[in-house]
């Protein structure tokens, strides 16, 4: 199994463990396997959390989880907030996955037989299990404490995501982080993200960083993002893509160069376009053109979307790769304001794209 696929699988497993059940885990991993079988290289074209979110979205949607009558009901907004990927990006990538696998409505490959059980039946099962647990009376106190902490963690995360007040949001995320930290066994060496018990802590930190970033509390957001990268240098959560945009916005040259050096093997289109913008912003045209050449080879749709040519392509009937196009949508959603605020960058991009 490739490292990228393993990371996507980890995100799926973690989300299902916290919010769904084993059947959703298994079905989502089956879809991931089919995507890899169809085109293994395609998994390298986008962030791991976006792939995980899109696959989960398909499974949840087709199995009625977004329906209020479903026993495990959640809204699409709830799902987006919990998985940490915007609803628009999830929708675009999910459509791309459907096209890759030719998934149709009520496709048997996606349906889970037990997913459509009524809430009453689910509650009956829960009651039966509860009675069995009471009858056994052997549950360890440690497990009880852990379950209580998990419930506290989920409540704090829910309150944080539902709040529109930044102070309240931050406070609840910080409470969730504290509880999640207490759930980590620190007796031996802790492998953050790799160890399942650390993921709630990492996810809460990520959500806190994103909330601070969105509210333009950049210094605080940077501290959170840098902490995450120090705990998990492999960056399974794609934190570097958020951090690099803040650093480019403030033209923090040393920090930017250090981050590029740290992830020098990252050849994703998102990383390459970040380099293009940074080098252009600092008038290093040789490096900017070299990075642009690599970026266009990786994903030309990002450049075309930045210069507003994608609408023309769609109207002309030219074939558009759905996976690369969804990646372009994600990048522009995250970064187009940076380009617009960098004087002359889009005009320069247009001229250089026309030369290719």
Q: Is residue 149 one of the residues assigned to a domain?
A: yes
Q: Is residue 44 one of the residues assigned to a domain?
A: yes
Distance CA 175, CA 30 (A): 35
Distance CA 35, CA 132 (A): 40
Tokens representing residue 265 in the block? 């093997």
Kindly state the DSSP code that residue 114 receives in the 8-state scheme: G
**312 neighbors 286 (Cβ within 8 angstroms):** no
Distance CA 162, CA 74 (A): 13
Q: Are 212 and 263 contained in the same domain?
A: no
Domain boundary among 203, 237, 271: 237
Domain count, the chain: 3
Q: Are 16 and 93 contained in the same domain?
A: yes
Q: Is residue 249 one of the residues assigned to a domain?
A: no
Q: Is residue 264 one of the residues assigned to a domain?
A: yes
Distance CA 37, CA 184 (A): 36
Kindly state the DSSP code that residue 194 receives in the 8-state scheme: T
Q: Are 106 and 210 contained in the same domain?
A: no
Q: Is residue 129 one of the residues assigned to a domain?
A: no
**61 neighbors 80 (Cβ within 8 angstroms):** no
Q: Collapsing DSSP states into helix, strand and coil, what is residue 233? A: coil
* Distances from the Cα of 95 to the Cα of 83, 98, 109, 225, angstroms: 18, 5, 16, 30
Q: Are 263 and 225 contained in the same domain?
A: no
DSSP letters spanning 18-49: HHS-HHHHHHHHHHHHHHHHH-GGGGGGS-HH
Q: Please give the distance of CA 38 from its chain centroid, rounded to a whole number.
A: 22
Question: Structural domain of residue 110, as residue ranges?
Answer: 3-119
Distance CA 287, CA 300 (A): 18
Q: Are 44 and 152 contained in the same domain?
A: no
Instruction: Kindly give, in sequence order, each residue whose CB lies less than 8 Å from that of residue 187, ignoring residues fewer than 6 positions away.
Output: none
Q: Are 77 and 151 contained in the same domain?
A: no
Q: Is residue 130 one of the residues assigned to a domain?
A: no
Where residue 186 sits, what CATH number does that domain have? 1.25.40
Q: Is residue 124 one of the residues assigned to a domain?
A: no
**What string of H, E and C letters represents the secondary structure of 237-278?**
CCHHHHHHHHHHHCCCHHHHHHHHHHCCCCCCHHHHHHHHHH
Q: Is residue 94 one of the residues assigned to a domain?
A: yes
Q: Are 320 and 265 contained in the same domain?
A: yes
Domain boundary among 212, 237, 262: 237
Instruction: Kindly give, in sequence order, each residue whose CB lies less than 8 Å from that of residue 164, ignoring residues fewer than 6 positions away.
Output: none
- Per-block average pLDDT, block size 10, for the chain (356 residues)? 84 89 92 89 83 94 89 88 85 89 89 60 48 49 68 92 94 96 89 89 94 96 97 92 97 97 94 98 96 95 88 68 84 94 95 83
Q: Are 93 and 152 contained in the same domain?
A: no
Tokens representing residue 60 in the block? 């949840």
Distance CA 156, CA 135 (A): 31
Q: Are 100 and 23 contained in the same domain?
A: yes
Q: Which of 345, 266, 257 is nearest to 306 (CA)?
A: 345
* Distances from the Cα of 258 to the Cα of 220, 246, 252, angstroms: 19, 14, 10
Distance CA 251, CA 283 (A): 12
Where residue 84 sits, what CATH number does that domain have? 1.10.472.10
Q: Which of 276, 284, 236, 280 is nearest to 5 (CA)?
A: 236
Domain boundary among 88, 119, 150: 119
Q: Are 193 and 145 contained in the same domain?
A: yes
């Amino acid at each position: 199994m490739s490292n990228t696929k393993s990371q996507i699988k980890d995100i799926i497993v973690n989300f299902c463990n916290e919010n769904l059940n084993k059947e959703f885990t298994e079905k989502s991993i089956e879809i991931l396997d089919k995507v890899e079988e169809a085109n293994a290289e395609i998994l390298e074209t986008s962030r791991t959390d976006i792939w995980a979110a899109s696959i989960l979205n398909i499974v949840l949607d087709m199995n009625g989880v977004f329906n209020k009558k479903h026993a495990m009901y959640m809204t699409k907004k709830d799902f987006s907030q919990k998985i940490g990927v915007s609803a628009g990006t999830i929708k675009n990538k999910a459509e791309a996955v459907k096209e890759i696998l030719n998934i149709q409505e009520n496709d048997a490959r996606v349906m889970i037989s037990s997913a459509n059980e009524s809430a009453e039946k689910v509650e009956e099962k829960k009651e039966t299990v509860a009675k069995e647990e009471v009858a056994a009376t052997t549950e360890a106190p440690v497990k009880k404490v852990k379950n209580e902490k998990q419930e506290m963690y989920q409540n704090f995360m829910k309150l944080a995501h539902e709040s529109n007040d930044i102070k309240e949001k931050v406070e609840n995320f910080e409470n969730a982080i504290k509880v999640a930290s207490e759930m980590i066994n620190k007796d031996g060496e802790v492998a953050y993200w790799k160890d399942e018990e650390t993921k709630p802590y990492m996810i809460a930190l990520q959500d806190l960083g994103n909330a601070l970033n969105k509210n333009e509390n950049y210094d605080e957001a940077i501290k959170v993002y840098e902490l995450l990268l120090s705990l998990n240098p492999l960056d399974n959560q794609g934190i570097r893509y958020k951090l690099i945009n803040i650093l480019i916005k403030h033209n923090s040259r040393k920090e930017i160069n250090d981050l590029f050096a740290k992830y020098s093997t990252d050849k994703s289109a998102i990383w390459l376009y970040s380099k293009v913008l940074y080098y252009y912003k600092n008038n290093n045209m040789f490096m900017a053109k070299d990075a642009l050449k690599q970026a266009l080879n990786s994903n030309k749709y990002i450049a075309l979307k930045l210069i507003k040519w994608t609408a023309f392509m769609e109207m002309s009937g030219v074939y558009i790769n759905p996976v690369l196009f969804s990646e372009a949508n994600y990048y522009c959603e995250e970064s187009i304001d940076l380009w617009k605020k960098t004087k002359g960058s889009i005009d320069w991009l247009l001229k250089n794209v026309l030369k290719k």
